[in-house]
Amino acid sequence: MYCANCGVKLGEAEQVCPLCATPAFHPAIPRPAGEKQYPRDVYPPQPERPLAAQIVSTALFLLPMLITLLCDWQISGRVTWSGYVVGALLVVYLGMVLPFWFSKPQPMIFLPLWFAGVAAYLCYIAASTGGDWFVPFALPLTGVLGLLFTALVALLRRFPKGRLLICGGAFAMLGGYLTLLEWLIWAVFRHHRFIGWSFYPLIALLLLGGTVAALSLNRETREAMERKFFL
């Protein structure tokens, strides 16, 4: 029997054309059930994911944590400076090792989780040093940065073809973030008058973001730039 779409002759066992997926059927031509060349649905067992690297990495993180805690306990009789070391190591572990325990780590879960870990670490530092800067200063900065990064990754994954436009928007948002940073420093700490240094990177980043966004929208210019700057 021949494929009605692409015209190739089909083997007896082919129920659909392997080349164009057109069903191999003709009401006037009875087809005997042919034998396929390979058994149906018999697949090799998938190899188990080796976890040695994760176990070794976790041990490498746990070891300095325990040693630091023990030393601190021996010297001070309680957790003092070792808390900062352990917290920092936990934050790094959260970002660099924890996702690899999972076969398909989802950045949309681990990225906010990591920023939450950073916020918790900063909260610990603020609490143990008696500072009152966490809620008015560190929390909004970490939260906004976490939101920005999560949104950026989500958009890049959802619209991979619009990456230039998304990156242009990200540059503009980064400029806005720097302005927020300066305003928060001024509003919370009030050590000096409002200088407005953040407007310089804001303008530069807005220009850069605008250029990238314009390039993403103008195909001819983009191709001209590619020709000019290819490596």
Partner 1 sequence: MTFTKDPSKEKARLRWLPLDNAAKIYPAARSKTWSNVFRLSATLTQPVDRAVLEEALEAVIGRFPAICARLRRGCFWYYLQQIEHSPQIREEYSYPLVRMPAAEVRRCAFRVIVYQNRIALEFFHALTDGNGALVFLKTLLAEYLRRRYGIAVPAEQGVLDPAQEPLAEELEDSFQKYAGSRRAGRKGTDAYRITGTRETGGLRHLTCLELPVEQTLQKAHEYGVSLTAFLCAATMMAIQNIQEEQTAHRCHHRPVKVLLPVNLRKLFPSASLRNFVLYTIPEIDPRLGRYSFPEICRAVRHRMGLELEPKFMSTVIAANVAGERIFAVKIMPLFLKNLVMKAVFRRVGERKSCLSLSNLGTVQMPDVMKPYISRLDFVLGIQATGAYNCGVVSWGDTLYLNLTRNIREPKLEYHLSQVLQELGLKPLVRSN
Residues at the interface with partner 1 (CB under 8 A): 3, 6-11, 13-14, 17-20, 35-44, 46-47, 223
- Smallest gap from residue 55 Cβ to partner 1 (A): 18
- Smallest gap from residue 40 Cβ to partner 1 (A): 6
Q: Which is nearer to partner 1, 15 or 76 (CB)?
A: 15
Given a contact cutoff of 8 angstroms between Cβ atoms, the answer to whether 116 and 146 are in contact is: yes
Number of CB atoms found within 10 A of residue 227's CB: 8
- Smallest gap from residue 13 Cβ to partner 1 (A): 7
Crossing angle for the helix pair 139-158 and 107-129, to the nearest 10 degrees: 170
* Cα–Cα distance for residue pair 115/144, rounded to 1 Å: 10
Given a contact cutoff of 8 angstroms between Cβ atoms, the answer to whether 136 and 189 are in contact is: no
Tokens of 47: 């190899």
Given a contact cutoff of 8 angstroms between Cβ atoms, the answer to whether 51 and 57 are in contact is: no
Tokens of 81: 């400076």
Q: Which is nearer to partner 1, 54 or 150 (CB)?
A: 54
- Smallest gap from residue 106 Cβ to partner 1 (A): 17
- Smallest gap from residue 60 Cβ to partner 1 (A): 21
Q: Which is nearer to partner 1, 39 or 130 (CB)?
A: 39
Q: Which is nearer to partner 1, 88 or 225 (CB)?
A: 225
Q: Which is nearer to partner 1, 27 or 47 (CB)?
A: 47
- Smallest gap from residue 21 Cβ to partner 1 (A): 8
Tokens of 76: 């001070």
Q: Which is nearer to partner 1, 37 or 129 (CB)?
A: 37
Measured torsion, CA atoms of residues 191, 195, 201, 207, in degrees rounded to the nearest 10: 150
Q: How many residues does the chain have?
A: 231
Residue with tokens 């058994």: 39
Q: Which is nearer to partner 1, 48 or 78 (CB)?
A: 48
Which of 59, 120, 124 shows the shortest CA–CA distance to 93? 59
* Cα–Cα distance for residue pair 105/130, rounded to 1 Å: 37
- Smallest gap from residue 228 Cβ to partner 1 (A): 14
